[in-house]
């Protein structure tokens, strides 16, 4: 049989191309390049051989297989789960789980799909943790929920060569009815606090006002006391000065009073008058003094004469200086009294027990008692009318 050279050449070219293709495929199957962020599990004829680290590796072609594992931290979203809390309140929650492959061999041999396994385990654990807590705790204790879920995931995932680095619950939402009830409770609580604060403010204001009124009454009573003391001092001084004036007038005052009496007698209807001898003698002396007559008398010129000892004692003229000194001492407010007043005012400001502080009525009572004592101690008890009566007695 004759084969044409052209056919032979075509056959040889096809075989060569086939061999070249098989060589390229073989080399491609033999070379395995592993990235720096992953590891790969190598199996030959379905049998696990080893883990391939980052770099270039040559493996048996056509009968080998590799399985990739990302060695970086990976994020798994846990779908929203519905749960019933311990106090029978429905809630929904979702979370995020952060995992990392620590042993690729276990992750390949111990579990089918480690990501799916961890996600399903996190869902069931989240529902179980929420079911063991009350509603208020699920809303307030996020860190406690995260720690419980992580603790529950650690043990099974360690057998898979997976480490749970963190668990974060994103949202915990109660049902709509529970949310409305919580809003009403929060609003009522805020109103209650506002009312308490307002009542406390009004109470504080009333206390401050009462303390101010009390301190004002005490100061006003002290001022009235001082005013009454000064008024009594003025009356006493006026009485004493009138007594001194009467003393300085002496016999001249008696004669002038007698002349006034004579004038009043002369205006009457009677034509006969009886005059004491002493009055006529005094009138004569007074007339000589006024006219400047050269008639010689034994008594000498009319001068102002003082009261006798009995009248001076009656009027208290000898004790005038002593009485004035006593009045000045009573009118002065000593340092002890001022210190007492300051202590009372300080006690009121500090909010201490005001029972020991005298009221306005008590202060006025003390003032009246002090004035009565001052009047009893004074020896000058005679008024202007009493002095006039004494002068009339001297005329008689």
For residues 53 and 84, state if they share a domain.
no
Tokens of 25: 């495929």
For residues 164 and 104, state if they share a domain.
yes
As a whole number of Å, the CA-based R_g of the chain is: 63
236 within domain boundaries: yes
Question: 34, 49, 68 — which closes off a domain?
Answer: 68
Q: What does the pLDDT read at residue 372?
A: 58
Within the chain, which residues score under 70 in pLDDT? 1-4, 240-259, 262-266, 268-396
For residues 359 and 388, state if they share a domain.
yes
Per-residue pLDDT of 141-196, as tens digits, reads 999 999 999 999 998 999 999 999 999 999 899 988 888 887 888 888 888 888 99
Question: 68, 100, 121 — which closes off a domain?
Answer: 68
Edge to edge, what strands does the sheet with 162-174 contain? 74-84, 90-101, 162-174
Q: What does the pLDDT read at residue 332?
A: 55
Domain assignment of residue 140, given as a range: 74-180
The CATH number for 157's domain is 3.30.479.30
For residues 230 and 379, state if they share a domain.
yes
For residues 233 and 343, state if they share a domain.
yes
Q: Which of 130, 108, 128 is nearest to 117 (CA)?
A: 108
Q: What does the pLDDT read at residue 336?
A: 64
For residues 30 and 136, state if they share a domain.
no
Per-residue pLDDT of 361-388, as tens digits, reads 554 456 456 545 654 554 444 444 454 4
Q: What does the pLDDT read at residue 303?
A: 47
- With beta carbons less than 8 A apart as the criterion, state whether 344 and 217 touch: no
CA atoms of 188 and 181, how far apart (whole Å): 11
219 within domain boundaries: no
For residues 62 and 122, state if they share a domain.
no
200 within domain boundaries: no
Question: 180, 206, 240 — which closes off a domain?
Answer: 180
User: Which alpha helices (H) appear in the chain, and where do they start and end?
Assistant: 5-30, 104-109, 114-131, 135-140, 142-159, 176-266, 277-291, 309-315, 320-331, 335-349, 360-377, 384-395
Q: What does the pLDDT read at residue 76?
A: 93
Count the Cβ atoms, other than its own, within 10 Å of residue 157: 23
For residues 354 and 233, state if they share a domain.
yes
41 within domain boundaries: yes
212 within domain boundaries: no
Task: Return the H-helix or E-strand segment holding 173.
Answer: strand 162-174
- With beta carbons less than 8 A apart as the criterion, state whether 46 and 77 touch: no
Q: What is the pTM of this model?
A: 0.47
CA atoms of 356 and 363, how far apart (whole Å): 13
CA atoms of 383 and 110, how far apart (whole Å): 127
- Three-state secondary structure call for residue 350: coil
Count the Cβ atoms, other than its own, within 10 Å of residue 222: 19
For residues 57 and 99, state if they share a domain.
no
For residues 28 and 80, state if they share a domain.
no
240 within domain boundaries: yes
For residues 121 and 240, state if they share a domain.
no
Q: What does the pLDDT read at residue 231?
A: 83
CA atoms of 127 and 115, how far apart (whole Å): 19
- Three-state secondary structure call for residue 164: strand
Residue 188, C-beta contacts closer than 8 angstroms, at least 6 positions apart: none
């Amino acid at each position: 049989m004759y084969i044409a050279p052209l056919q032979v050449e075509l056959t040889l070219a096809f075989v060569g191309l086939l061999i070249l293709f098989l060589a390229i495929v073989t080399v491609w199957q033999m070379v395995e390049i592993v990235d720096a962020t992953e590891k790969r599990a190598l199996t030959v004829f379905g049998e696990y051989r080893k883990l391939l680290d980052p770099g270039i590796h040559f493996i048996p072609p056509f009968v080998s297989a590799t399985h990739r594992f990302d060695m970086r931290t990976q994020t798994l979203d846990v779908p929203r789960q519905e749960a019933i809390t311990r106090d029978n309140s429905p809630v929904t929650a979702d979370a995020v789980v952060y995992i990392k492959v620590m042993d690729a061999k276990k992750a390949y041999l111990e579990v089918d799909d480690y990501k799916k396994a961890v996600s399903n385990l996190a869902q069931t654990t989240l529902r179980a943790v929420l079911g063991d807590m009350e509603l208020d705790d699920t809303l307030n204790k996020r860190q406690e929920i995260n720690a419980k879920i992580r603790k529950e995931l650690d043990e099974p995932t360690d057998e898979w060569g997976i480490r749970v680095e963190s668990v974060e619950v994103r949202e915990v939402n109660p049902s709509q009815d529970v949310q409305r009830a919580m809003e009403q409770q929060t609003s009522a609580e805020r109103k209650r606090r506002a009312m308490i604060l307002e009542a406390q403010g009004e109470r504080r204001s009333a206390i401050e006002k009462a303390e101010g009124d009390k301190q004002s009454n005490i100061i006003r009573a002290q001022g009235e006391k001082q005013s009454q003391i000064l008024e009594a001092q003025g009356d006493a001084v006026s009485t004493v000065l009138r007594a001194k004036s009467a003393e300085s007038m002496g016999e001249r005052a008696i004669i002038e009073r007698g002349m006034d009496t004579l004038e009043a007698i002369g205006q009457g209807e009677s034509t006969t008058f009886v005059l004491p001898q002493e009055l006529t003698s005094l009138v004569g002396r007074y007339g000589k003094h006024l006219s400047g007559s050269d008639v010689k008398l034994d008594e000498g010129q009319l001068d102002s004469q003082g009261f006798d000892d009995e009248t001076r004692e009656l009027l208290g003229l000898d004790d005038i200086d002593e009485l004035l000194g006593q009045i000045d001492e009573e009118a002065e407010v000593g340092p002890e009294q001022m210190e007492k007043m300051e202590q009372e005012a300080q006690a009121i400001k500090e909010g201490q027990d005001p029972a020991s502080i005298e009221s306005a009525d008590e202060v006025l009572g003390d003032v009246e008692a002090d004035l009565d004592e001052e009047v009893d101690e004074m020896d000058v008890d005679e008024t202007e009318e009493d002095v006039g009566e004494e002068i009339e007695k001297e005329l008689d």
